[in-house]
Structure 1
Amino acid sequence: MAQDPMQHSVLIADDEAPARRELKRLLQEDSSLVLVGEAENGLDAYTKAMQLRPQIIFLDIQMPALTGVETAQMFLANQYHPLIVFVTAYDEFAVKAFELHAIDYILKPVHKQRFAMVLERIHEQLKEADPQEERSRLLRLVQSLKENSSVSWISLYQGDKIIPIRTDQIIYAEAFGRSCKVMTREGLSCTAYRMHELQAILSSVHFFLCHRSYLINLEYLESVELWVNSTYRLKMKYCDTLIPVSRNSTNELKRLLHLS
């Protein structure tokens, strides 16, 4: 049966069954919202969301397999922009980040008054849907929160499969037109990210933009070779590609590696 155009599909993702039950109970009070699925962990949430394409996702921050932020990051990689409401136990850092980037959130235990306020904002946002603005706000949030997490994830394309990988498995990324390919020990795979987006997500001390077309993980750097015009080429572990260093990036490389 086709969905009523006046209704909006919702997915709930939380590893705590009581929390899911409470969210379901509150959702039932709004006839314009239709629950299409539930998920118990981040990977389950990602899989079901990509299949069901709900317009709204209530996404718990702390879940096994993938955190809520890592799951949202994977949505970004696949050009999927649902309205996300993060659900979290009180975390001062996270709450400040949500408020700074105008991302909706609900604190546990969920209170009816706060839930009603969030639903009101959701309805306003659905009327003025702007996927690119939603993407930009979510990307900025991911950048802020990932510094508070030891591991983050992105998704790669291998044939007709979407494979989530930890970012610390990335050896380097290479720009290809309007997207990037990523090298891991398993080989080269495609992503939906542009280079500047990938650079923002991987903006840790271990990743270095050595050239406008190459972003490397310094943890996998094997050797540095002198090249033309006083620049360098980089040999990475587990692959044969020699990666150029642009003249603009040479001084920064010297600083990072303490080269004379």
Structure 2
Amino acid sequence: MRILIADDEPLARARLAALLGECANAELVGSVGDGEAALAACAELKPDVLLLDIELPGHDGLGIARRLAALPAPPQVVFCTAYEAHALEAYELHAADYLLKPVRVERLREALKRAEALRGGAGAPRAYLAARMGGELKRVPLDEVIYLLADDKYVAVHHSGGVLLIEDSLKALEQAHPERYARLHRNCLVPVERLLGLKTLADGRIVARLAGTEAAPEVSRRNLPALRRLLRES
């Protein structure tokens, strides 16, 4: 694979170049230090993979990824950054991976393998939610999310592998994926494809039946009409 590095720190570029030397089938075709140079190098060199820092002079990494996504055959983007905070937006831009500095060679190999699979048409990039667990950044594919429950300043992501906490608000998630989620009440979103039906309990409360779990989140009266319409139309 032909790989381009874009990072404003010379030592970071040198470290990534050295790590690429330990990765099979990785050919370094260029190394640049700002956003304009990254865009120009992508146009000229046509790399298969771009190892991209978030904080760059000229254009930040997220802006570069957005511009590259409009190309007919963009490179797979692997973010290499010291900041966890942009992970959600990065995955919404269909980044192949998101590596935290200092980058370990094992993670770089994994990221390149994922980028190669995506580039080779092994599947469309999956969208993810980014969560922290034990000090590490974890990814939860959107199709594994069962429901989202707001709890104080965090949102609990109940998914097929357990529960993780993210710092994004329900409102931000709803705006980022307007067709994906249905709101049960002010503190709960569920993926539309998980919503099987509604059930009225003996005490008059209404709960949702969801695929993949026995949990039955409560439905507010305010959101009930919209959910009934959704179920009729689906």
- TM-score normalised to structure 1 length: 0.44
Whose helix proportion is higher, 1 or 2? 1
User: What's the TM-score once normalised by structure 2's chain length?
Assistant: 0.49
